[in-house]
Structure 1
């Protein structure tokens, strides 16, 4: 979608659209390949968390809460205990003026978020629900922005994880000044204590292959899914043919996804996962990866791997003409 179409559908000026898109692009929620605007995985997740918040509060109420730091500060203070208006001035960390507090309380009363109780303002159940909805939204947005380099590259259809759990994930990014940071992390993840390793690889990297060959030499159960370009390169290189031949090691099963991809997955037993995403099919440039032992993210990573495994086939079944 181009900016002109966005302006028409949103019924706002092109300049406003341009300004908003600049912010969304800076936060990693949209990208513009070939002059067209499209949502990233983070952008899609952002829509989901906003829609979830709007099931509790209206657009007008959310706008009122986020207009400045004062409204949410007042609501947080009231969650702790009732306050007189004169007491709120010092109870709120953003230090709003007394007239500002008065306007905020008036709005809260209109929304049914607070009520007078013996001269003190007290939060209502509706106010608590509004506060919780805002906190959930703010927490999710914080993680979506923090993990934006990864989410910009992650296939949108794979963004099915619980967002709050991302706080337990480490983000590693390769850049022009640190091109090997992700590879180095992947090498450090090599663990002889692993009893079962599963991986999905979309980049031909002999260094990484040879490092993880050590697991095969130790007799550890291993399985790898290679996308098609990676399979072809590995099969054509005499030094890496063991990666595509299941007969080389009895404890190893290679599988092939019959297309190019931009994803990497490493599963270390059921205790840790590493999920990498790339800019272009097989190029391996500007990789972003998360590493986590969070149980829910590990479960998501395993399910993600299994979804690609269901689409793959044994390397031994691949037609000879593809080699």
Structure 2
């Protein structure tokens, strides 16, 4: 499935309204599917009832959504993923800025997209557009004239001194479509990671993942993600943030020098199970034992470099010098180590999101004082 195919699939609508029709068509079926799954997980039968379609139509609606990682199916129910929620919200936000019918029609017609993009580059006479289209394998002269008439009557194009140019509405429509296409592209390209993240991570700027590196485990290389997390640090890092969803001796061995380095501002957020594993005294790896001792000692001194949260964390994070982020889904889904994937990004928008997310969880946590360490151990043993 290509991004264009997914976009057309998402915006496909059987409504008869055209790009310039004042009649408002219902939201496309697959958008309504994402809307229905926003509030709760549903079976296919429940979904069909919720969006008022047959069960067969519901199955057809879900197939490309699941293939693209926008929804995930469990044993009996469907769940909205992080990318599914971002795509859903982006669609509705853009529909508040421009004509939803126009988005649908652009998705159906590459020729309409070509005309808008050509006019955005520069206003042009109809004959000039036709000549450019011939050179760029664009639409025919007849198709260009038909589309221009349609766009002009709809208020997206106007003719000034013999040249056609985009109106403000035309710019808004094309910008909205381009933005939505960018979100769709990243959702599809990064689906190996995003499909495992929950829909509650709806602020994740997936459109900024263009250029991010996808790190994939494989059956014959099951530790690629862990290796990337361990290799991302060095002793010259001045600011380090670590959100740990696994008790890994390999990570401790890699990160331990940063906590010993007085020149590094190192902070970490643990969950209770991870804290219990780090301080349980049963680890056989020396690095883990040392870190467990550090946790207990610093918990007593309460220097504030460590916070423990009682609830689960959805993502594992390593943020280096506020310029580089590696993230991976927490091992709380059906994802296996052999198929796990992570992302590495230096995009400023991704770094800002990761830092804000970490800071929020850090503020929600508490220093692991001696009673909380004992309590975490007890809960872990009980579970």
1:150-165 alignment runs, 5 A limit: 150-165=193-208
Contact 2:296/2:369 (<8 A) preserved: no
In the alignment, structure 1 residue 25 sits paired with structure 2 residue 77: no
Contact 1:150/1:289 (<8 A) preserved: yes
Residue of structure 1 in register with 2:380 after alignment: none
Shift of residue 31, structure 1, vs aligned partner: 0.8
Question: Distance between the aligned counterparts of 1:117 and 1:132, measured in 2?
Answer: 22
Match of 2:257 among 214, 227, 236: 214
In the alignment, structure 1 residue 139 sits paired with structure 2 residue 188: no
RMSD: 2.6
Match of 1:302 among 334, 355, 376: 355
Residue of structure 2 in register with 1:110 after alignment: 153
Question: Distance between the aligned counterparts of 1:276 and 1:107, measured in 2?
Answer: 47
Contact 1:246/1:252 (<8 A) preserved: no
1:278-317 alignment runs, 5 A limit: 278-280=330-332, 285=337, 286-317=339-370
User: Does the C-alpha gap of structure 1 residues 34 and 282 become closer, same or farther in structure 2, counting only changes over 3 Å?
Assistant: closer
Shift of residue 119, structure 1, vs aligned partner: 4.1
Question: Distance between the aligned counterparts of 2:74 and 2:183, measured in 1?
Answer: 26
Q: Structure 2, unaligned stretches of length 5 or more?
A: 1-41, 378-383
Q: Structure 1, unaligned stretches of length 5 or more?
A: none
User: Does the C-alpha gap of structure 1 residues 90 and 181 become closer, same or farther in structure 2, counting only changes over 3 Å?
Assistant: farther
1:194-205 alignment runs, 5 A limit: 194-205=237-248
User: Does the C-alpha gap of structure 1 residues 118 and 197 become closer, same or farther in structure 2, counting only changes over 3 Å?
Assistant: closer
- Normalising to structure 2: TM-score of the pair? 0.76
Residue of structure 1 in register with 2:164 after alignment: 121
In the alignment, structure 1 residue 322 sits paired with structure 2 residue 376: yes
**Farther off after superposition, 194-203 or 23-32:** 194-203
User: Does the C-alpha gap of structure 1 residues 111 and 7 become closer, same or farther in structure 2, counting only changes over 3 Å?
Assistant: farther
Match of 2:279 among 235, 242, 250: 235
SS at match of 1:34: coil
SS at match of 1:38: strand
- Normalising to structure 1: TM-score of the pair? 0.89
Question: Distance between the aligned counterparts of 1:83 and 1:16, measured in 2?
Answer: 44
Question: Distance between the aligned counterparts of 1:125 and 1:283, measured in 2?
Answer: 46
Question: Distance between the aligned counterparts of 2:113 and 2:132, measured in 1?
Answer: 12
User: Does the C-alpha gap of structure 1 residues 103 and 17 become closer, same or farther in structure 2, counting only changes over 3 Å?
Assistant: farther
Residue of structure 2 in register with 1:98 after alignment: 141
Shift of residue 315, structure 1, vs aligned partner: 2.0
Shift of residue 281, structure 1, vs aligned partner: 6.4
Shift of residue 128, structure 1, vs aligned partner: 1.4
Question: Distance between the aligned counterparts of 1:282 and 1:319, measured in 2?
Answer: 29
Shift of residue 283, structure 1, vs aligned partner: 8.3
Residue of structure 1 in register with 2:13 after alignment: none
Residue of structure 1 in register with 2:315 after alignment: 263
Shift of residue 308, structure 1, vs aligned partner: 1.2
User: Does the C-alpha gap of structure 1 residues 55 and 228 become closer, same or farther in structure 2, counting only changes over 3 Å?
Assistant: same
Contact 1:222/1:252 (<8 A) preserved: no
Deviation readout 1:184-216 (Å, 9 max, x if unpaired): 111220221112322111112111211211223
SS at match of 1:276: strand
SS at match of 1:224: strand
User: Does the C-alpha gap of structure 1 residues 17 and 241 become closer, same or farther in structure 2, counting only changes over 3 Å?
Assistant: same
SS at match of 1:265: strand
Contact 2:44/2:58 (<8 A) preserved: yes
